[in-house]
A and B are shown apart, each in its own frame.
Chain A
């Protein structure tokens, strides 16, 4: 018997100005009926190109050079070679969307904002099954129920922009499934989603796969996702299959050095004392004589926190104006709601939370890129307390040297029109430090410090990979020898293998240069690796603050628990509890039970439950019984 999908020795090339580039060279794998196959690889490995080749949606400058993609339709038992079929033919169109459908990474752009969800789902029905009118609507509402929309009848009439990211992805899945395909291709379906939503979507795909007896081809870079949903795994690197096998074999007995290295680079949750991640390409920081380690001056109280944030609040108003100013309404959103914490000298405090929780807003207020509504920010400058929150732009300038910021996006944060040398010497230009010779020497040292080849100084940022660019960004931040570095998701745009490298670099630099980090992230595994203490934020509120070990061992707040339950482990023997994840409603503060609930009059405050573990609650006595 032939498998549902059989890819044999597939070669796909791209024609570019520099000649033909082979993106996929000789990939073979199969998808059995009703099974889930994961294709894993880093960016540029050719995994998405495989999916596009199957769907017949390769970019214009790409073409299949050789190989075959055999698809056996389980309904009709007809076997078609998709690689040989004209992608614009009638035959391909019936298969695409009807028998094989795809969901994309970005639920924002995959749905049209001009049509209702119902319209877009029934369009597929109309095209493939000729259904219309009430029959189509009934099928559409059925499928919306199947993907667990809270109110399918209403969802039929809503527009995509009225839905949250998770619901949008559900609508996309409904659209893909409405014609009952034999194979669903999911191209990074959960990458753009928050971790709690990701777990729900993965659970949904897994359930639907069983209910509909459908096969799933999952394209992903996340080993945690693979371990939780896949039956078979194909590991690709540079357009070639490095290793393939059943999920247990892949995780228990990785055979190829690439896979072994990749698995070593994935952040885990249990570390032996002093254990480090092993990146694929290790770099060692080399510190020269100009960049000195920052010693605390004698006679200064080292136990005093370097940064104190008290009762910081910020709200944004959204004005929606009706025609001619009639029906004006003002909506106030509390982005940050009375957040207080402090950062000790030399530690790494992480703020974790999902998108929109206010973590980035907090960091921007500390950098004074944004003004706080209320609250104070106190910076301990060599023993004297300075209120940053009261300072004007001019007064801030000396402190801009001491507090630095690492951006998330390694592509946008470097000016594409400046050479690496110009980028790295810019801090000195801004603060008028040193002459040309001095600047040249420090820049060379900075390059060594982040493990980049100093010969690349006259290159432009576009010639570097994401990880290298992020290291340039880090080098720029270190140029002025800051005391406090705020890292805003510094590794979330990077591949796993590079992520480990940058995390290790940040760890080493902290020790080498005596830095203090405020590390902002959504990724619990990353935070577990790098942070000393962790603060959890949800909808503008700080809900729990504890040393890393305590937080992971005994999380108190229902939101923290939900967050930790949703993290997919890169280990098949430690699967997600999809049942629990599906039922969680703890991401909405209105659903928090007593004593964590939100009451208007007496809002909860952070309560110390021992060992530096703080939880946001109303009443201590009640909490003790819970703990």
Chain B
């Protein structure tokens, strides 16, 4: 056995206040408000930030769809029906000539009755930038013809092919974003209002209010989604203008989406109500209104924004599904769902696969909303 431990006393000085002193980084961190801390935390999620940028660009694009699209929404090219996507080239016969496309020569295959196009590689048609092209009405306000990108004066520019009327798919996609992206926003506003009010009432009053709200939610959730949408949109009068139909569809989507949000609000409210600081406010004599407004709402607002973000994709998908089935928006309104309804015919999909292209923006936007929502949800509670 070794000896008894010798009494050791460190020679280090003892400064009782040393642990209370802050470094400049700590100072900055400590003065941060909840939104700042959430932002710092959100920044850490690369994917979410990237998704956020994608979404911001997409939403910015709908302001100036007319300028971005190479053609106007309804321009038809009767000699280019079901034309395939044209590739962009830079080199012509070994020389660099800038971006151009080769024009398409049309032949009808008399065996299969398929429209066949071949590239005419002898005449490059250059792509023009910041140019005057197809005339359009900017937001229906004034006439203009300015585009960022236009085809050659004699040529065509179908980067994603054309549809059965010879309309440029890319231009229609860019215009369709206007409808498809905003359907989600209006729908989510409605569902947000309904969700907060109903969920808040259930969470705050509890008792029979809570249980009846819960039962209604359960019933709504148990209804098969698609037939319900179909029934509701069938109820929209056929003689309504396309714009009214659009509003009707968003309202239907909003009306059916609130249960998820209401549940989130209710459970968060129930949990926060028992937090010590909420009890402290109650014991200081504050009214329920004060507690909800000052303590509960600010604490779950960030969570709500995250869950709202996560439910936008279901709205977009809902619109797409309805329009695909021909029950949602109808031409001449153009949305991604309406564009996809062209791809209903298996034959045309087999022959002209570019008709499926509207899937692409739907997938990108839905994924972006999901990534962004995940990032927001993680950042929503920066005090863990």
Contact = CB atoms under 8 A, between A and B. Distances in A.
Given A258-B14, A426-B284, A413 B9 contact: no
13 contacts: A1-B2, A33-B1, A243-B8, A245-B7, A255-B7, A369-B279, A400-B284, A407-B276, A412-B276, A415-B277, A417-B34, A430-B281, A460-B30
Interface stretch (A233-241, A377-385, A567-575): A233-241
B295 interface: yes
Interface string B48-62: 000000000000000
Nearest to A486: B283
B341 to A, nearest CB: 47
Interface string A396-426: 1110110011010100111111110000001
B346 interface: no
B5 A459 contact: no
B26 to A, nearest CB: 8
A409 B276 contact: yes
A560 interface: no
A401 B14 contact: no
Contact of A458 (B31, B285, B287, B290): B31
Interface string A430-473: 11000000000000000000000000001110110100000001
Interface residues of B, number: 43
Given A245-B8, A257-B13, A409-B276, 12 more contacts: A18-B25, A18-B29, A240-B12, A281-B20, A369-B283, A400-B283, A407-B280, A415-B298, A417-B299, A418-B298, A430-B287, A463-B31
Interface of B: 1-2, 4-10, 12-14, 16-20, 25-26, 29-34, 275-277, 279-287, 290, 294-295, 298-299, 383
A245 B284 contact: no
A241 B8 contact: yes
Given A244-B5, A255-B9, A463-B30, A431 B277 contact: no
Contacts of A397: 285
A589 interface: no
A240 B285 contact: no
B41 to A, nearest CB: 10
B283 A367 contact: yes
Q: How large is the interface on A (under 10, 10 to 19, 20 to 34, 35 or more residues)?
A: 35 or more
A256 interface: yes
Contacts of B290: 429-430
Interface string A337-365: 00000000000000000000000000000
A404 B284 contact: yes
A242 B10 contact: yes
Given A246-B4, A415-B299, A401 B276 contact: no
A480 B283 CA distance: 13
Contacts of B33: 417, 419, 460
B275 A412 contact: yes
A261 interface: yes
Nearest to B383: A416
A427 interface: yes
Interface string A255-299: 111100100000000000000000011000000000000000000
Contacts of A255: 7, 9
A222 interface: no
Contacts of A334: none
B10 A240 contact: yes
A559 B298 CA distance: 47
A579 B325 CA distance: 82
Interface in A50-67: none
A608 interface: no
